[in-house]
Structure 1
Amino acid sequence: MQPLLPDLPDAFETERLIVRCPQAGDGGRVYEAVRESLDGLRQFPASLPWALDVPSVERSERFCREGLDAFVSRRDFRFLIMLRSDNSVAGCCGLHDPEWSVPAFFAGWWGRTSLLGRGLVTEAVQGLIDFATIHMRARRIAAFVDEYNHRSARVCERVGMQLEGVLRAERADPDGKLRNTRLYAKVTTNHE
């Protein structure tokens, strides 16, 4: 059962990033990051079906406004990954499908193509895990990773998630080709 709208900060900071809930008006910046990153995102259509849609400022603005609404109502927790240096969007991350009785969440993320390889996504995901553990008392955070998404698998390993198994033929591409999914998770049983 979901706690009655637990108090949560809507942002956290890491060494190089401000990771915050999307706001109305953020759509243009999100659109630019998505548009730049489409080729990479579309490599994993079974995991990121939204990337197959034609991007627009309006779709990105809807994503931001719906994310804000879901965050306020504690149904879903989307975050924009922003560079501290210039406040540009470096990607998105989030905690999804909350199971408040545990508490447990599924984490997801993507990074802006021009900024990949700098450890920014790993930094954001580590911050996301810390945020969930501290503020939401999360005991389990899991991630579903396409078996060919080696970058995301490495992010999972760097933040201390363990591979729990491979779900064979778990998702299908739009053309019907079946994809395997690696399930990673980090379990924390100690809350002081």
Structure 2
Amino acid sequence: MLISSRIELKPPSLEWVEPLRLALSESYELHQLFLDWAEPDPSLLTVTATMNVAKEQFERKEHELRFMIVRREDQALVGSISLHVRDVSVPYYEIGYWVRQSATGKGYITEAVLLLADYAFIHLHATRLEIRTAASNDKSRAVAERAGFRLEATLQNACRTQGHLDDMLVYSRIGHEDMIPEIDLVDISPEELDY
């Protein structure tokens, strides 16, 4: 588990299936704009299946390390963030995230990105982190920029947003030395997460 002053990043677990299903249902209108996997009312069966895949990948430390973003004060699920394993020989990872509709605009995702980036640089010895987002996704672009990621490339016509061609922006962080120290990291517990 990774902990900062306001949030905890918790590994995937079946205890989060129903809160996750509710968060996804609540947030469909927001998510369907940019996330092709969004569905209006995901079934318990579907969410359980994806959680089981996330647990297996997390335990094997391959493909994707998915975390539930949990608000510390009331243990409410506010979103999800993942560290996608792109190349462990580099090591190189990509960060993906989403927030539930009722938790937007509160800085939880930026805090989660900073916390996960810190973990990746310090404990996984990452040399490269990326965030990719559609050019039209202003909120996701703002998160990347607030977290100190720099725009590295624009991939023209590389994705679709609501059926229309859109550019894909590639943001990157190349090292830990220029991390933004504005998040109070209370504790990072890498024992269960290290490769």
TM-score band w.r.t. shorter chain: 0.7 to 0.9
Provide the secondary structure at the position in 2 that maps to 1:127.
helix
Alignment deviations for residues 134-166 of structure 1 (CA, whole Å, 9 cap, x no partner)? 121111110111111111111101111000021
Identity rate of aligned residues, in percent? 29
> In the TM superposition, what is the alpha-carbon distance from 1:98 to its structure 2 partner?
3.0
Deviates more, 1:119-128 or 1:51-60: 51-60
1:55 aligns with 2:45: no
1:163 alignment counterpart: 151
Provide the secondary structure at the position in 1 that maps to 2:115.
helix
CA contact (8 A) 1:165 1:184 kept: yes
* C-alpha separation in 2, matches of 1:154 and 1:173: 18
Alignment deviations for residues 20-72 of structure 1 (CA, whole Å, 9 cap, x no partner)? 1111232101011111111010111xxx2111464122222222221110011
CA contact (8 A) 1:27 1:58 kept: no
Provide the secondary structure at the position in 1 that maps to 2:15.
coil
Structure 1 gaps, min length 5:
1-10
Residue 55 of structure 2 aligns with an amino acid whose one-letter code is: L
1:116 aligns with 2:104: yes
Structure 2 length-normalised TM: 0.85
Equivalent of 1:42 in 32, 35, 48 = 32
Residue 18 of structure 1 aligns with an amino acid whose one-letter code is: E
2:185 alignment counterpart: none
* C-alpha separation in 2, matches of 1:65 and 1:25: 11
Equivalent of 2:7 in 11, 14, 17 = 17
CA contact (8 A) 2:21 2:44 kept: yes
* C-alpha separation in 1, matches of 2:162 and 2:3: 37
Q: RMSD of aligned C-alpha atoms?
A: 1.6
Structure 2 gaps, min length 5:
178-195
Size of the aligned set, in residue pairs, is 176
Higher relative contact order (CA 8 A, sep 6+): 2
